[in-house]
Amino acid sequence: MSAPLKTASPGDSAPTGPAVTKTRTSPGDERGEGVVLNVFSHGFLALWALMIVLPLLWLILSAFKTDAQIGGSAFGWPQNWSLDVFSRAWDKGIGDYFLNTVIVLVFSVPLTMLFGSMAAYVLARYQFWGNRLLYFFFVAGAMFPVFLALVPLFFMVKRLDMLNSYQGLILVYVAYSLPFTVFFMHAFFRTLPTAVFEAAILDGASHTRTFFQVMLPMAKPGLISVGIFNTLGQWNQYILPTVLMQPQSGDDPERYVLTQGLVQLQQQQGYASDLPVLFAGVTIAMIPMLVVYLSFQRQVQAGLTSATLK
Amino acid sequence: MRKGQYRFVAGFLFIPVALYLIFVIWPYLQTFGYSLTDWKGQSQTFNFVGLDNYTALFQDDIFLKAIWHNILFLVFIPVITILLALFFAFMLNAGGRGRAGGVSGVAGSGFYKIVYFFPQVLSLAILAVLFGAVYRSDSGGMLNGFLMKLGLVDESGPVEWLNEPNFVLWALIAVVVWHGVGFYLVLFSAAMQAIPRDIYEAALIDGAGRAHTFFRITLPLLWDSVQTAWVYLGIAAMDMFILVSTMTAGEYGGGPDHHSEVMATVMMRNFLLYGKSGYACAMGVVMLLLTLIVSVVMLRATRRERIEF
C-alpha cells in the first residue's frame, strides 16, 4: 500500500480516506489495478498541468532576463531581478493600451448588459406581434462569422466618423455582443416566476420600474454569467479593433487596445530588439485575467461553459 | 394589451434593435451586395460585375490553398482537442481509486481543473507572443532549448517551427489544442458528474472494466456535449485569423510562402492591404457558406438518439 500514499498529495486527507476503505472492502487483485491506474492517471494529469504552467512561468521569468540571455539559452536563470522592466513596458505603450481597453470596457460591458437584458426581457415576457421574428433575428447574428460583416462595417463606422474613436468601438462591441446576451438572458428571464411580476404591477409599479427594481435584481446570477462572458470576450477581442482602431491621419493619435498593442509590440521586435519589455507587457496583460479568474473561478468556468451549452 | 404596454415594449427595444441593425445586420446584408461589385474601397464609385469575384476566387491559388488549410484544421483541431479533453475528464472523474467499489475522481481534481482552464481566459494575442517565444528558431526558444537538452535536436540546426512548411500547421494546431483542452474538459466533466452514480455501480456489478464503462456508458451519455464541442471547435477552425496573422511570416501572416494561409488572412490582406473591398466581401460570403455547411454537416454526422437519464 505504499504506492497510492506516495502519489497522494501530502496534507490532503481526502485521498487516504478512501484508500483505507478500499483495503477493507475489495479483493487484492482489484486493488492492484486501482493503484496502477491511479499512478497512471496522476502521471498524465500532472504532465498536462506542467505543460500549461511551465510555458507561462518561463515567459514571466524571461521578462527578468536580458536580451542576450533570452537569445542565448532557453533555460538560463534570470539575473536582474528588478521591476524596472515593467515600468519600461508600461511607458512603452502598454500603459496606454491598458487604459484604452479599460475605457472601452467600462462603457461597453454595462451597456451590453443593459441593452441586452432590456431586449431579452421584453422578448421573453411580453406578447406582441413579431416577437418570435425579432428573437430569431437577434439569435441569428450569433451564427455568422464576423468576417462576413467586416468590410461594410468599416465603411459604416467611417461614415459615422467614428473610426479610431472610443465611442465607435464601444457601440460596435455592444452590437456584436447583443446576440449572445439576448439569447442567454431571454432563457433566464423565462425561468423567473410570474407571481412576483404580477405582484409588482398590482402594487402600482410601472413596467419600467418593475424591470429595474424587481426583475433585474432577480436575474443577477444570469447577469453575472453573461457579464463575465462579455468582459472576457471584449477584453480579448482583436479582429474588430484591428479593423476599426487604426489612426486615420498623421495627427490622429494611436488608440490601440491591449491585444492590438501587444501584437504591435511583438512586430516591432524586428526593428528594435527589446524582448524583456515584450514579455513584461504580456505579463502585465495577464495579471488582470489571472486575478479575475482566480477570484471568480467557479463563475468563470460556469459562465463560459454554460454559454456553449445553451 | 394596453396602449402603455406597447409604448414600453417599443421603448425597450428601440436602442438595442437600432444598434443591432446598423452595426450587424446591415453590414451583413451589404456584404452580399458588395461581393458582386469591383469596389476598390477608397473610391466611391464601383461597377456591378456579377459573379466575377467568385470565379476569380476559385482561380486564386492562394485562396484555394487557404481553404485546404482550413479543412485540415477542421479535421485535426476538433479530433485532438476532444480526445484529450475526454481522456482527462475521464481521468479526473473516474481515474481515482474506487470508493467502496464505486468509481471516483482523482485527488486534487479541482486543482487540475483550475490549471487546465486558465489558458481559456487569456487572449489569443497573449498566446501569439507566448508561443512565438516557445517556437523561437534558435536555442533561446523553449521547445528548441528543451529538445536540445534531450539531445533530440542538433545544437547547430534548431528547428524553425514556424518557418518550416511541414511544421507550421502542426505548430498552430498545438496552440489551439493547448488553449482549448481545459475548456472542453470542464464542459465534459460537468456532464460526467451529471451521470447518476448507480449506473456506474450497476455496470461494475455486472463486471464491466474501466474501458467498457467509458465506451458503453460515459461516452453515449456525454454525446450531446461532444456534439456541441465539435461544432464550436469546427467554427474556431474556420477562423484562425489571430494566430496565423500574428505568428507566421508575411503581412497578415500566412507564411512561409502561403503554407499556413487561411481564408481569414487572405481576406484581411485583400481588404486592408490591397484595398480590394468587393473581392474581400466575396471571400466573406464563401467563409459564411463553408461555416454553415460545416455546422450542419457536423450536427448531422454526430447525430445520435438522445438518451434520457
> What CATH number is given to the structural domain containing A240?
1.10.3720.10
Query: Is B230 within a domain?
Result: yes
Q: Is the pLDDT of residue B105 over 80?
A: no
Q: How many domains is chain A partitioned into structurally?
A: 2
Share of chain B above pLDDT 90, in %: 31
B283: nearest CA partner in chain A? A148
Please tell me the distance from the alpha carbon of residue B277 to that of residue A154, in angstroms, as a whole number: 10
Does one domain contain both A111 and A243? yes
Which ipTM was obtained for this model? 0.85
Query: Is B33 within a domain?
Result: no
CB contacts < 8 A (A, B):
292
- Provide the mean pLDDT of chain B: 85
> What CATH number is given to the structural domain containing B266?
1.10.3720.10
User: Which of B2, B12, B288 would you mutate first to test chain A, the one with the most A CBs within 10 A?
Assistant: B12
Query: Is A222 within a domain?
Result: yes
Q: Which residue would you say has higher pLDDT here, A272 or B76?
A: B76
Q: How many domains is chain B partitioned into structurally?
A: 1
Query: Is B41 within a domain?
Result: no
Q: What is residue B41's predicted lDDT score, i.e. its pLDDT?
A: 65
Distances (CA, A) of A37 to A244, B83, B111: 53, 19, 19
Length of chain B: 309
Query: Is B263 within a domain?
Result: yes
Q: What is residue B97's predicted lDDT score, i.e. its pLDDT?
A: 46
- In this structure, the number of other CB atoms found within 10 A of the CB of residue B197 comes to 12
Does one domain contain both A134 and A185? yes
Q: Is the pLDDT of residue A34 over 70?
A: no
Please tell me the distance from the alpha carbon of residue A116 to that of residue A128, in angstroms, as a whole number: 18
Q: Is the pLDDT of residue B273 over 60?
A: yes
Give the confidence band of A8 by pLDDT, cuts at 50, 70, 90: very low
Query: Is B16 within a domain?
Result: no
- pLDDT tens readout for residues A219-260: 888 898 888 889 988 998 999 999 999 887 777 788 899 999
Query: Is A185 within a domain?
Result: yes
Query: Is B288 within a domain?
Result: yes
Phi, psi of B48 (to 5 degrees): -75, 125
Give the confidence band of A197 by pLDDT, cuts at 50, 70, 90: confident
Q: What is residue B24's predicted lDDT score, i.e. its pLDDT?
A: 92
- Given a contact cutoff of 8 angstroms between Cβ atoms, the answer to whether B133 and A277 are in contact is no
The whole-model pTM stands at 0.84
A188 and B CB contact within 8 Å: no
Length of chain A: 310
- pLDDT tens readout for residues B230-270: 888 988 898 899 999 988 888 888 878 889 999 999 999 99
Query: Is B13 within a domain?
Result: no
Domain range for B294:
52-301
Q: Is the pLDDT of residue A30 over 70?
A: no
Domain range for A29:
2-62
Q: What is residue B285's predicted lDDT score, i.e. its pLDDT?
A: 92
B88: nearest CA partner in chain A? A45
A116 and B CB contact within 8 Å: yes
Does one domain contain both A154 and A294? yes
Q: Is the pLDDT of residue A5 over 60?
A: no
Does one domain contain both A103 and A218? yes
